Amino acid sequence: MKVLIDIGHPAHVHFFKNIILGLEKNGHEVLVTSRDKDVAIDLLDAYNIPYIPVGKIGSGKFDLIKEWIKRDYDILKIAKKFNPDLLMGMLNPCVAHSAKLLGKKCFIFNDSEVVNSTALITYPFSDVIFTPSNFSKDAGKKQVRINGYKEHSYLHSNHFNPDPSIFDNLDIGINDKFILMRFVAWKAGHDVKQKGFDLETKIRYVKALEKYAKVFISSETELPPELEDYRIKIPSEDIHNFVYYADLLVGDSQTMTTEAALLGTPAVRCNSFVGENDMANFVELENKYGLIFNFNNYDEAMNKAIEIIQDPNIKDEWTKKRELMLNEKTDVCSFIVDYIEKYWSNV
């Protein structure tokens, strides 16, 4: 079987890397195309995953639309030449459109209920729509619910083992207390009219939290001079090791908040998505497992962060919560690889 996988975001590299390895181990041929966004290319290089670059994010108001149209065309050309049996992506309209035009199968994964416009132009052209089991929307007969978050594809204990060697090149030790702040760019299509930390709030948080622990910053965008010294300087592929050993994660990120929860690190998330229409994953991680805290008020979020970092037993408590969650969830990577092979045996 031949499979084409398109990467649109660095998080997609993490999601698909073990799926790619699993498919190739079982004798299937995989071709990867990738958008040049943030550190997606760096991650593919670090994991030794060959790829064809397709598309690059622009800075103009309509650049995203123009880019997606061009990527649609470029991926169609590549797929026509490669002739895959299956195309895959993370709620990716480009692979869905190419699959339909070429008469191929398309499997996509979606864990975000807020990306309505993208779903409208992707679902009709897809054959299987994987979602977490707690996904609050019904995607119809094509939907396959998996009892796990997308991050379980690479952070499930079957795939992730923390590596303490990251401290060899840092000015802190494994037993030192530190906080990671994560800021995203808010330039994705589904981020329209949404917001996270502004510059003033970022500075205020750093000054408040560094009284209790050393603060590092991971940011998708440039930082002002007064914050640049806080930027974490590690290879992109080591970020999950860093999150695992952190005492606290604070920020406006969706994905890294979930990653912290799966790694047993307390996380405080604050952005405008939080509220009665928040995504199901975040509601479950907070209300069922008690692994994260969601806020849309910056003062309340800061107070919670300060409360957490002062608790000397917090990591031990979160380790127990993580184990409970892992015992109830599925290895998403293995589920998808097994599903693909069973699906093809019946085609």
Tokens for 104? 């191929």
Q: What is the pTM of this model?
A: 0.92
Say which residues have a Cβ less than 8 Å from residue 83's Cβ, sequence separation at least 6. Answer: 2
Same domain, 304 and 173: yes
Please write the tens of the pLDDT for every residue from 235-255: 999 999 999 999 999 999 999
Same domain, 101 and 20: yes
- Under the banding of pLDDT at 50, 70 and 90, the label for residue 63 is low
Query: From CA 149, how far away is CA 209, in angstroms rounded?
Result: 29
Closest by Cα among 147, 159, 151, 112 to 288 = 147
Same domain, 190 and 275: yes
Per-residue model confidence (pLDDT) at position 62: 62
Angle at 43 between CA 181 and CA 133, to 5 degrees: 70
Structural domain total, the chain: 2
Same domain, 319 and 338: no
- Under the banding of pLDDT at 50, 70 and 90, the label for residue 67 is confident
Where in the sequence is the domain holding 15, given as residue range(s)? 2-156+330-345
Same domain, 68 and 111: yes
What is the CATH number for 84?
3.40.50.2000
Same domain, 218 and 152: no
Question: Would the pLDDT of 56 be above 90?
Answer: no
Tell me the β-bridge partners of 178: 214
Q: What is the mean pLDDT of residues 167-171?
A: 91
Please write the tens of the pLDDT for every residue from 219-238: 988 898 999 999 999 999 99
Q: What is the mean pLDDT of residues 56-64?
A: 62
- Under the banding of pLDDT at 50, 70 and 90, the label for residue 64 is low
Question: Would the pLDDT of 269 be above 60?
Answer: yes
Per-residue model confidence (pLDDT) at position 186: 57
Mean predicted lDDT score pLDDT of the chain: 93
Please write the tens of the pLDDT for every residue from 96-121: 999 999 999 999 999 999 888 899 99
